[in-house]
Structure 1
Amino acid sequence: MMRLRGCRSLIAGQRLSTKIVGVLIGFLLLALVAIGSTLWLSWQLEGAAAAINETGSLRRHSYRLTLLLAREQAGVQSESSAKVPEQIAAIDRILLLVERGDPQRPLGLPPSRAIRDAFRHVLAQWNGHMRPLMLQAHAARGAGRQDAQQQLDGHVERFVAEIDRLVALIEQDNALRTFWLRASQLALVAMAIGGTVALVYLMFGLIVDPVMRLRGGMRSMAESDFGVRLAVESRDEFGQLAAGFNEMADRLEQLYGSLEDKVREKTATLEDKNRELELLYDCASYLQQRHTLETMCEGFLARISSYFAADGGTVRIVDADNANVHLVVHAGLSAEMVESERCMKFGSCLCGEAAVKKISVVHRLGDLPGGEQLQCAREGIATVSIFQICAQDQQLGMFSLHFRQARGFSARERALLDTVAALLGVAIENMRLAEREREMAISEERNLVARGLHDSIAQGLNFLNLQVQMLDDSLAAGKTADAAAIVPALRAGVKESYEDVRELLLNFRSRLEEDSLQAGLRKTVKKFSDQTGIPAEFRALGPGGPPMSREQQLQLLFIAQEALSNIRKHAQADAVQVRIEDGEDFLLSIRDNGIGFDASAGSAMDDTHVGLHIMRERAQRIHADLDVQSCPGAGTTVSLHLPQGQRRAA
């Protein structure tokens, strides 16, 4: 354990990956050395065991060779004579094999000096005595063979004794190596157990303990214990983590200490922004509604005065042509001040100066030279803030907020006031544009009415005027017969003028029912048929295309009414067909079988046939194409084409 602690202190300054890799490589090398030594001992034991077997076989070959020589001496020559050289050669091969060894089997003598000396004695005994005597006994005959045989018997015993001694030495060496093999195996087991324990201890010390400490610190941090700190015991990754954890704990402790203040600050900021959004939404929603200028400015001033807790305020409109500033609405001002500032010139007082400079300003009256002499200051106002009302880079007016206590405006408040001022400017500009559009529409409609009156009633009245003059001349000349002939013409002219007036009044009062052009046309065609007695057919085709604005639908209805009026006055028709095709494009056609006219007559046609010019003007207003096809005796067809690109929803 002391060594492990020493190892831990030694590697404390290293990186964690280096520590783990070093420890694992160290244990791997130890295991490889132990396994290698065990394998080496096992290989030597196997070689020695094979050497024992081969050396022990020398005794068997020696005794067999002696037996063969004895049988040869006894007169058995057939088999023994041939086998003696084979046995000698076999003993030579065994001795050579044992001396050289065979790594593949494995086979080899143990590297012991005593064993080597004993093997050399065996080899010397064989080469010096045994082999020559055996060859001599094999070659001798009669008494010589018997003497050789007697000498050989003594040497065989000594040769076998040397072999037994050699085998005994090898067995002793094997026993010793077997002991060391078992010892190394036991050491390997002990090393595995000790290495596992050491690895577990080191892993706990290097990884598990730091992780558990870090986990404990995180758990304490999760329980809002920001005072917890970890000991930095190394310079490895866990040491860096511990140092980083301590830094994080320091920052969290600081942040948590000021968290409540920041929360209150953020909450106040969010509340202010929510109030700003509410004001912007309220002003935008209010200004989108339809109001008069005074009502709109009054509601706007009430909202911003309430938001900024102002003691008063004004909204003024600029008349740049006359260099005047007109007061529209006011709050918190005395009657005297309202009367004096109802209309002021550019450059007079603070508001007039702001109108000239076209800038938004905040004045603290006490800081201005001679500010106490201003009428605002005499009425107890300490701060006057003025903001420009603009739309499309054009100055429309200004509004002011009055405070009885000195007050400043932050950049965010100034931006908010500029934004609401822009909203008011857009609303005023839209109101002016809508008013101009209404004026233009009324003017165009009046022009059309005037043209209709001129082309119908005015011509009828002119005809009646001529007839009245002729009647007066006839009565003055006493020509009663001529006067009596003029009266029916007067009666017919009056009737036609009355019908024209009645028809114009009905057309001017025409309205679309439930925004349905088809229903309006159907009703108009039926009314025409009922009043004139001319059969009129109405047909509607097509699936229905893009929607059209109300203005377009009204103009189409007026064009149809004008065409039917022309048919009543001039066509002398007995059948009329009105058809619409409502698809991607809109097509309107009005056809009669009357007397027709020369459609190629140009401008003369417009002067003769009432309403054609008016129909063309109405078609141009909605960007439609009007075409009139007619020739004498073949009826008339009025066609109107409204392309898809010009159809727009109301």
Structure 2
Amino acid sequence: MLRASPHAAWSRLSTKVVGSLFGFLAVALSVIGATLYLSWQLEGSGAAINVTGSLRMNTYRLSVTLAGMTDAERRDAARSEGMRQLAVVDGTLEQLRHGDPQRPLFLPPSSVIRGGFGRLADRWQNELRPRAATLLAQQAVAPAEVWAFQQQADTFVRDVSGLVQAIEHDSENRTFWLRGSQLMLLTFAVGGTVSIVYLLFNLIIAPVSELQAGMERMRERDFEVRLQEDRHDEFGQLAQGFNQMADRLQGVYANLEQLIGMKTAALEAQNRELALLYDSAAFLQKPQQAEAMCEGFLQRITEYFGADGGSVRVLDPAKGNLHMLVQQGLPAELVEDERCMKVGDCLCGEAVEKKIAVVHDMRRIDPAMQLQCHREGFSTVSVFHIYAHRQHLGMFNLHFKRVRALSAADEALLQTLGQLLGTAIENLRLGAREREMAISEERNLVAQGLHDSIAQGLNFLNLQVQMLEDSVRHQQYGDVDAIVPQLRAGVQESYEDVRELLLNFRTRLAEESLVHALQSALNKFERQTGIEAVLDADPDGAPFPREQQLQLLFIVQEALSNVRKHASANKVEVVLRDREDFTLAVTDDGAGFDPAELAGKGETHVGVHIMRERAQRIGATLDVRSAPGAGATVSLHLARAQRRAA
């Protein structure tokens, strides 16, 4: 643990200020204490003068009292008063000897005063008091004895006066020192105030003013200003920090234009990268062929990086070939030689095999290898891969005739562009597969529809033709008359089936709601069959995607076709409820059928099977309910969780 040196501690500003204030306080308290002490001593000396002066009065009273002892009538009263005066003088001397700090009362500690008091006390104890006590004890006192006592009392009073004068002289001296200490206190107050102001000015105000002046010059962009660092306190540290800040600001300001240029160039480069990414992403999302898409992609990156040529190759994983899909700026001989290359061949094929992005400096390639791109004058060739969902789809090249070093940011940008192109190519392939599956499924439904209608009708006509041929061979012309109307009816029914199938296959959902499409289908059904068709719909839900709407319309058309062929109905009602879940029901009042018989047919009843497949496509369930003579109901239920947003 580091500890500050004593010199560093004493050089701190807080130490200086606090130390100066405490020093000033200590001196002030000392002077004030001395003044108070002198005042206290003067007060005690004044009380001592008064008490000492009372000795004279008490001595004179004692003399007068002893003079009264000469009169027999006043002798007893004088004796009593004399004893009291002796006690008063004894108490006064005792009080002067010990003093009274609470009053205060004490003799000054002067040798002259102490010596005078000692002689005075001795004279009283050895001369006056014994003589006075003797006189008070006598029955009769002679005037001569009283006069002798008064002579001794006068001497004692003179000694008391001398002691009082000595105390007064000492008080005068102490008063002089008291005035001197008061003047000293006043002088110290003025000098201390000036000293504190000077100290604070030097320690705080002057450095703050210097720092403020430096900041003002700094505000005026005078970065050459510096502060003196000759102090060792906090302001010295501030001055050092200020100078360091000034050095840094001066350096920054001197290089400001260069920094701004660098930042501007960096921002422009980032903006160009973002513009390339945005333009490429928008272009790759357009519906177009793979060749056109790759050609536009290659044109954008060659212009951005200033490449002299480039190519896009797709990978055939089954055969391990790299096919050149598009190229730009490459010589015809190079294009012909590398139109199809094996994975692992040449530098590009090796990069594909290792699945790494490579930038080749052709100057460092061994000339003995005789690479075609090297012979064509290219100095730098880069290889970057096309990925989609971690699947390697191909690669693209950039060819430079001059030496070109790609930075880490450039390589990251090209890798990102390769992923964008890979995603676009994969989307094209997925779209083609989806269309292929849709065509296959639709062909399956067409085949089922033909089997359900045309095939059965043609089978019936084939049987009727065989019967007609047999009747003609046996010349049973009566049977011929019966068979010909059936043939005509069969042909007419097959013709109507063909028309209905063609109509269903050509059905397209117009830019309208599902309700309008269903109403149009019911109106056409009513015109063609003469069967009353009613639509009851209350659509409150969100709109369906067009694929789901088309499947729902096909299901209703198939149900109406079954009504026309088999139900012999007078009325058909379509009920649509679009609330939490979607329900659709087609009900007729025809002959109906036995559900067990329908279940026994299984998938041979192609119409119901087609409706179930279309319902499964949109995640719905289909139910067929009927009874002989009670009509039939085809109901569809689509849960809210299975419903896709439009």
**TM-score (norm. length: structure 2):** 0.88
- Please state if 1:97 is matched with 2:95: yes
Instruction: Please give the secondary structure, in 2, of the residue aligned with 1:401.
Output: strand
Cα shift readout 1:437-483 (whole Å, capped 9, x = no counterpart): 11112211221222122112221222222222222322333222222
Structure 1 residues 523 and 91: CA distance shift in structure 2, 3 A = farther
Equivalent position of 1:635 in the other structure? 631
**Deviation of residue 515 (structure 1)?**
6.2
Equivalent position of 2:228 in the other structure? 231
Cα shift readout 1:220-251 (whole Å, capped 9, x = no counterpart): 44444444443332433333343444444445
**Deviation of residue 152 (structure 1)?**
4.0
Structure 2: stretches of 5+ with no match in the other structure: 1-6
**Deviation of residue 377 (structure 1)?**
5.0
**Deviation of residue 34 (structure 1)?**
1.3
**Deviation of residue 369 (structure 1)?**
3.8
Instruction: Please give the secondary structure, in 1, of the residue aligned with 2:591.
Output: coil
Amino acid at match of 1:115: I
- Please state if 1:49 is matched with 2:46: yes
Of 470, 475, 480, the match for 1:483: 480
Structure 1 residues 131 and 537: CA distance shift in structure 2, 3 A = farther
| % identical equivalent positions | 56
**Further displaced range: 193-202 or 255-264:** 255-264
Of 18, 41, 58, the match for 2:15: 18
- Please state if 1:592 is matched with 2:592: no
Alignment of 1:411-560 (within 5 A): 411-514=408-511, 516-541=513-538, 543-544=540-541, 548-560=544-556
Structure 1 residues 410 and 607: CA distance shift in structure 2, 3 A = closer
Alignment of 1:53-72 (within 5 A): 53-67=50-64
Equivalent position of 2:401 in the other structure? 404
Question: Equivalents in 1 of 2:137, 2:50: separation in Å?
Answer: 31
- Please state if 1:267 is matched with 2:264: yes
Amino acid at match of 2:11: Q
Structure 1 residues 341 and 173: CA distance shift in structure 2, 3 A = same
Question: Equivalents in 1 of 2:240, 2:23: separation in Å?
Answer: 30
Structure 1 residues 473 and 82: CA distance shift in structure 2, 3 A = farther
Alignment of 1:221-260 (within 5 A): 221-260=218-257
Question: Equivalents in 2 of 1:577, 1:171: separation in Å?
Answer: 140
Structure 1: stretches of 5+ with no match in the other structure: 1-9
Of 7, 28, 31, the match for 2:28: 31
Equivalent position of 1:569 in the other structure? 565
**Further displaced range: 316-325 or 367-376:** 367-376
Of 352, 373, 385, the match for 2:382: 385
**Further displaced range: 505-514 or 297-306:** 505-514
**Further displaced range: 359-368 or 171-180:** 359-368
Structure 1 residues 607 and 332: CA distance shift in structure 2, 3 A = closer
Amino acid at match of 2:611: M
Alpha-carbon contact 1:606-1:612 (below 8 Å) kept: no
Equivalent position of 1:616 in the other structure? 612
Amino acid at match of 2:431: A
**Further displaced range: 50-59 or 512-521:** 512-521
Equivalent position of 1:150 in the other structure? 147
Question: Equivalents in 1 of 2:146, 2:521: separation in Å?
Answer: 161
Q: Report how many aligned residue pairs link the two structures.
A: 639
Amino acid at match of 1:427: A
Structure 1 residues 184 and 612: CA distance shift in structure 2, 3 A = same
Instruction: Please give the secondary structure, in 1, of the residue aligned with 2:577.
Output: strand
**Deviation of residue 425 (structure 1)?**
0.8
Structure 1 residues 349 and 121: CA distance shift in structure 2, 3 A = closer
Amino acid at match of 1:101: G
Alpha-carbon contact 2:598-2:605 (below 8 Å) kept: no
Question: Equivalents in 1 of 2:544, 2:68: separation in Å?
Answer: 141
**Further displaced range: 563-572 or 183-192:** 563-572
**Deviation of residue 535 (structure 1)?**
3.7
Of 308, 311, 314, the match for 2:311: 314
Alignment of 1:261-410 (within 5 A): 261-335=258-332, 337-339=334-336, 341-346=338-343, 351-370=348-367, 375-376=372-373, 379-410=376-407
**Deviation of residue 617 (structure 1)?**
1.1
Alpha-carbon contact 1:596-1:632 (below 8 Å) kept: yes
Equivalent position of 2:3 in the other structure? none
Equivalent position of 1:123 in the other structure? 121
Structure 1 residues 318 and 11: CA distance shift in structure 2, 3 A = closer
**Deviation of residue 86 (structure 1)?**
3.8
**TM-score (norm. length: structure 1):** 0.88
Alpha-carbon contact 2:448-2:606 (below 8 Å) kept: no
